[in-house]
Chains A and B, each alone.
Chain A
């Protein structure tokens, strides 16, 4: 059975801190890894990672994938209160002609002013 494990499950920091969120996986037929941010509504897309060692960056957020060790990290530098959200990791596996994302439980990040 495909497994996606995120850690920590929750994190409380102060504005300006840097945080690292982890996502490890055990799946067959890996295709890609996705990161999403979920506030009190639908998840919104952050990054898609398909190759090891290539960092994706968007402002203060960055992410990298290690396909040998089967994990990804999401870094947020100089956190702001608006970064408070649940961060979801999903691994897309191929099943026949289908691509099915399997999500982890998410990491709940709270940023205090």
Chain B
């Protein structure tokens, strides 16, 4: 399967622990996004990478959150000192660049998500 894969699919942790999620995008996609989704809400943007550069970060991304994409391939999202409010589904998505420079974006392909429960 050559889709977006995320690991782990489920994580239960105690408040105060650190967690790390991994995302492997579709191999030819240079754009990678992290979103957070809670029940009854749409995905909320967290951060965006173009190749290895982190170009955008949401205000939602507090200093407890850090994301990396070394070598422009897989990405990790780490949450330090987890809080119960961090419980959510963390979705990763990837896309190709636009067909033409300045042209419309291409669609995002999502992974199955990593569900975090903080006790």
Q: Which residues from chain A sit less than 8 Å from chain B, CB to CB?
A: 4, 6, 31-32, 34, 36, 41-45, 48, 50, 88, 90, 92, 95-106
The residue that B104 contacts in the complex, of A6, A32, A45, A100, with Cβ under 8 A, is: A32
A48 to B31, CA, bound (A): 17
The interface residues of chain A lying within 8 Å CB-to-CB of B42 are 4, 6, 88, 90, 103-106
Interface centre among A50, A97, A101 (most CB of B within 10 A): A101
Smallest CB separation, A32 vs chain B (Å): 4
Q: Choose the segment among B10-18, B68-76, B79-87, B105-113 that binds chain A (4+ C-beta atoms closer than 8 Å).
A: B105-113
The interface residues of chain A lying within 8 Å CB-to-CB of B41 are 105-106
A-B contact pairs, 20 of them (CB 8 A): A31-B104, A36-B110, A41-B112, A42-B4, A42-B110, A43-B43, A43-B91, A45-B108, A48-B106, A50-B104, A88-B42, A98-B50, A98-B56, A99-B98, A101-B33, A101-B45, A103-B43, A103-B44, A105-B42, A106-B42
The size of the chain B interface, using a CB distance under 8 A, is: 26
Smallest CB separation, A100 vs chain B (Å): 6
The 5 closest A-B pairs by CB, nearest first: A103-B42, A99-B105, A42-B110, A32-B104, A50-B104
